[in-house]
Amino acid sequence: MVAAILIAPDCFGDSLTAVQAAQSIAAGWRRARPQDVLTLAPQSDGGPGFVEVLASRLGEVRTTSVSGPLDTDVDAQWVLDSSPPVTAYIECAQACGLTLLGGPPTVRTALDAHSRGVGQLIAAARAAGARRIVVGLGGSSCTDGGRGMVEALGGPAAARDLLAGVELIAASDVEHPLLGPTGAAAVFGPQKGADPDTVAVLEARLTAWAQELNAAAGRDIRDDPGAGAAGGIGAALLALGGRRESGAAIIAEHTALDADIAAADLVITGEGRFDDQSLHGKVVSALAAGARSRRIPVLVLAGQVTLDRAALQTAGIASAHSVTDHAGSVQRAIEDAANQLTGLACEVAAGWG
């Protein structure tokens, strides 16, 4: 029986982009079920891969040299869609991503990394005539609350003037506030190399910077959902007049995901780590919601799977499969990610239906 298969993964951390993951899954599926019709629709929630996914569907890809997270210049890609209103899609990971540190994150990089390059990308977008700027948040190496970004735009007042009349959108599915035990420093700092003492330093910096952001916004933005996204870049965008929208929803709209789901007999998605956070506004949850209403089964292929069967059923996921289990070790799953994901997809395809 020929089936229509929608393959719509997010990125697998630093191992595979969403585009690469979709290609690997497709290659494996075809080995076992060559007769099926495959539609590849890589996704993103605003983090790494946001621009790459959009570039495959719309607009013109531009490259701008900007300051990287540790000052060395990097070539950052962004997308300009000239359809009215002229819209720029920017990915903060292109300018201050963890992968741009030149090595594993450390206490030193956790303290030094900044978001200046994001501000330079926003300035480039305005110079190109953008009236709508969408900034994908996620995968950043910095916890500066967007201070570097704002300073690159001339400071809070100058930045608000530059962006007057511009629709500014923070594309993120992170709901964390800026400060406190669930804020940017406490939750994400350790992922960026911060030890407990460094987390305390970052929290103090963010607390002081928040006063300036509140003054610029004319209100308290510290507890707004998404203020803690990308090391607090979310808070700075909100203070400059922006609003938060779901990154996954933005991608879904521009990749015609709803129509793709409706045409599918099976949806396959995935990401680096499939855990409880995956079910709250992430790509997997968005796909599961769209498929559930149409009674279309959803399979998840992920680097690691930590959810039990009950959680999968509640989320409307038929089954979830781990690349790590297939590979036999985390190290092999990461170092040979494309081949291992292909092998897992082949194995799952052989047993499906």
* pLDDT, tens digit (0-9, with 9 covering 90-100), for 228-261: 999 999 999 999 999 999 888 898 888 888 999 9
In angstroms, rounded to a whole number, what is the distance separating the alpha carbons of residues 195 and 210? 22
Burial of 313 (0-12, 13-18, 19+ CB in 10 A): exposed
Q: What is the pTM of this model?
A: 0.86
Residue 254 within a domain: no
In angstroms, rounded to a whole number, what is the distance separating the alpha carbons of residues 35 and 150? 53
**pLDDT in the model for residue 315:** 83
Q: Residue 85 belongs to a domain with what CATH number?
A: 3.90.1510.10
64 and 213, same domain (yes or no): yes
The total number of structural domains that make up the chain: 2
In angstroms, rounded to a whole number, what is the distance separating the alpha carbons of residues 227 and 242? 11
Taking residues 108-120, what's their average pLDDT?
A: 98
Among 186, 193, 189, which Cα is nearest to 106's? Answer: 193
Report the amino acid identity of residue 26: A
Of the residues 221, 248, 275, the one at which a domain ends: 248
33-78 confidence digits (pLDDT tens)? 999 999 999 998 888 889 998 987 787 999 999 999 998 999 999 9
The 10 Å Cβ neighbour count of residue 181 is 9
112 and 27, same domain (yes or no): no
Specify the long-range contacts of residues 334-337, CB closer than 8 Å, at least 24 apart. Answer: 334/13, 334/15, 334/303, 337/12, 337/15, 337/16, 337/24, 337/303
143 and 110, same domain (yes or no): yes
109: Cα separation from own chain's centroid:
21
90: Cα separation from own chain's centroid:
11
Report the amino acid identity of residue 206: L
pLDDT reading at 278 higher than 70: yes
DSSP characters over 242-310: -EEE-HHHHHHHHTTHHHHHHT-SEEEEEEEEESGGGGSSSHHHHHHHHHHTTT--EEEEEEEE---HH
60 and 189, same domain (yes or no): yes
The 10 Å Cβ neighbour count of residue 82 is 13
- The residue segments making up the domain with residue 92 are 50-248
pLDDT reading at 181 higher than 80: yes
Q: Are 185 and 143 in contact (CB under 8 A)?
A: yes
120 and 241, same domain (yes or no): yes
132 and 83, same domain (yes or no): yes
What share of the chain in percent tops pLDDT 70?
99
**pLDDT in the model for residue 281:** 62
Residues in the chain: 353
Beta-bridged to residue 62, according to DSSP, are: 78
Residue 144 within a domain: yes
Burial annotation 120-147 (CB, 10 A radius, 16+ → b, else e): bbbbbbbeeebebbbbbbbbbbbbbbbb
Among 174, 172, 175, which Cα is nearest to 223's? Answer: 175
208 and 292, same domain (yes or no): no
